[in-house]
A and B are shown apart, each in its own frame.
Chain A
Amino acid sequence: MAGVWVIAEHRDGAFRKITFEAASAAKTVADALGADVTAVVLGGGLEAACADLGKYGVAKVLYADSADLTVYSTEGYAAAVADLAKSGAPDVIIFGASMQGKDLAGRLAAKLDTSVAVDCTALKVDGGKLVATRPIYAGKIYADVLVTGAPQIATLRPNVFDVVETGASAAVEKVSPAVGAIKVKQVEALAEEGGKIDLTEATIIVSGGRGMKEADNFKLLEALADALGGTVGASRSAVDAGWRSHHDQVGQTGKVVTPNLYIACGISGAIQHLAGMGSSKVIVAINKDADAPIHTKADFCVVADLFDVVPALTEECKKLG
């Protein structure tokens, strides 16, 4: 059963988008290796959804229908995947560099005595081995990493790999991996206010910096984000000034984001901020200072006062909507 494995991520009985991104990327790797993609699904109530993974290139699903695994735990997932991998001997294991995947990676690799290429933005196969590209120093440098242990593990940055549908159905095999003791208990899951989309998963981000002048002015960015279906982010200056929560911080000491559209408003573009948003697909800078470094990174530069342009842009976007 050697081949490429994908660890599925799910919440409330449905797979998360990162699972389809990982499966699609795994299919490309498997094709280059002349192997098949096997998905590992841990947790109850997902049997119907399992077969659907075939659409994204998965040939076979190993489904552990276990109540102990319905809620993610580092210990349970690491033990179950390691147990399955010891008998299944995959060449490569791929999953999302989501909050869950980032937590799982180290413990799983320690159990299997291998290593991980974390938060990858590109994968290729060279000489029968996976070589993964990942940004380090928050994107100031890109590293090509070769995991020399077996299996090779790679986690993928969300919203970078395209979801590719092929239309087939996957065979589902029930498995019962050893889970062992799970010491960490999830007491509850608190929903974030307003159910807003997390910055790391957002396709559109409207972000504000020191130029916003005060917390209340972020209302302008909230309005633009609402008109675009986006999420509001902030620079470190804005967070340190207490205008926004640290959850909203984009940059080397905050979140690294890859939206389709990043609109930077009143952000000068300090190197540590550029590092966090530099791999966004399209960048807009709105800053009245023509010399602000952010303009050198932007695809579209608006050299004007954000307090005039942002409300006007919100109105334009509402017209489009």
Chain B
Amino acid sequence: MNIVVCIKQVPDTESQIKIGADGKTIATDDIKWVMNPYDEFGVEEALRIQKAKGGTVTVVGAGPKRVTEALRTALAMGADKAVLVEDEGLYGADPMAVAKILAAAIKPLTPDLVFLGQRAIDDDAGLVGSALAEHLDMPNLSVVTKLDLGEGSVTAQRPVEGQTLVLEAPLPALITTQKGLNEPRYASLPGIMKAKKKPLEVKTLADLGVDAAGKASVAALNPPPSRAAGKTIGGETPQDLAAALAKALRDEAKVI
């Protein structure tokens, strides 16, 4: 079983995000960078499948040199090798360009399974998964919370609004992972030591014969719309407070 897991490096969820001087990108000076949390589920699932069926787990990232850290984290969790498509301009690139770049890096690896997080928690786009599947000519199963590997096929559970769909696809297939699929392991100290010696291949866009030109651009970044200051509900007893709140929601806000 040949398994590829795509890794994106993103700002930690506790990061304050500030708009950069150009008004179109974020200021990156105060950011703690981590592996996209949804990608951890893909690494874990790949390692579990490898344990059961054998094979190789390759992690693939695209972005500036610092993405090496996220790839090393995946290697420390247990992945065998890594490929980084290194390009300083890729952070914030159009996801559709990233999908093409990842496809060029992944094709030679001829994977049976490709995993990605269901979305990255920075641009929240969730476009790369199904676009990459199209470029790799694979079926895709999105936002998966349960996966069973059969002989030459996978069965997945995908929660949608009010339902959970059970989907089946032949291999090779691309899966995007959602919280609930598994509990990702932490990298152990021996794992971290071993990761330093595992192969990490660096490629350029030119090596792959692709470029970062996208089909979308950011015209401006703005802070979120501000909210008016809140009103404190007064009252002596819980009953008074509840009555005053219910009245405010009904008469003032008109939401109940």
Contact = CB atoms under 8 A, between A and B. Distances in A.
Interface of A: 74-75, 78, 98-100, 102-107, 109-111, 113-119, 131, 134-149, 183-192, 195-198, 200-201, 204, 228, 245-247, 249, 251-254, 256, 260-261, 270-272, 275, 278-279, 281-285, 295-305, 308-309, 311-313, 315-317, 320
Contacts of B167: 184-187
A118 to B, nearest CB: 5
B127 A300 contact: no
Contacts of A142: 221-225
A91 B238 CA distance: 56
Nearest to B171: A183
Most chain B CB neighbours (cut-off 10 Å) among A147, A279, A296: A147
Contacts of B121: 137-138, 252-253
Given A143-B218, A312-B242, A118 B126 contact: yes
A105 B127 contact: yes
Contacts of B26: 137, 141
B245 A313 contact: yes
Given A107-B134, A317-B256, 13 more contacts: A98-B161, A115-B94, A137-B11, A138-B121, A141-B222, A141-B223, A143-B218, A184-B169, A187-B167, A195-B162, A228-B256, A303-B232, A313-B242
Interface in B121-180: 121-135, 139-143, 155, 157-170, 173, 179-180
A106 B169 contact: no
Contacts of B160: 98-100
A99 B126 contact: no
Main SS of chain B's interface residues? mixed
B96 A109 contact: yes
A182 B14 CA distance: 41
Interface of B: 11, 13-14, 16-17, 19, 26, 37-38, 94-96, 99, 119, 121-135, 139-143, 155, 157-170, 173, 179-180, 214-225, 227-228, 230-233, 238-239, 241-243, 245-246, 248-250, 253, 255-256
Contacts of B227: 278, 283, 297, 299
A210 to B, nearest CB: 16
Contact of A106 (B134, B163, B239): B134
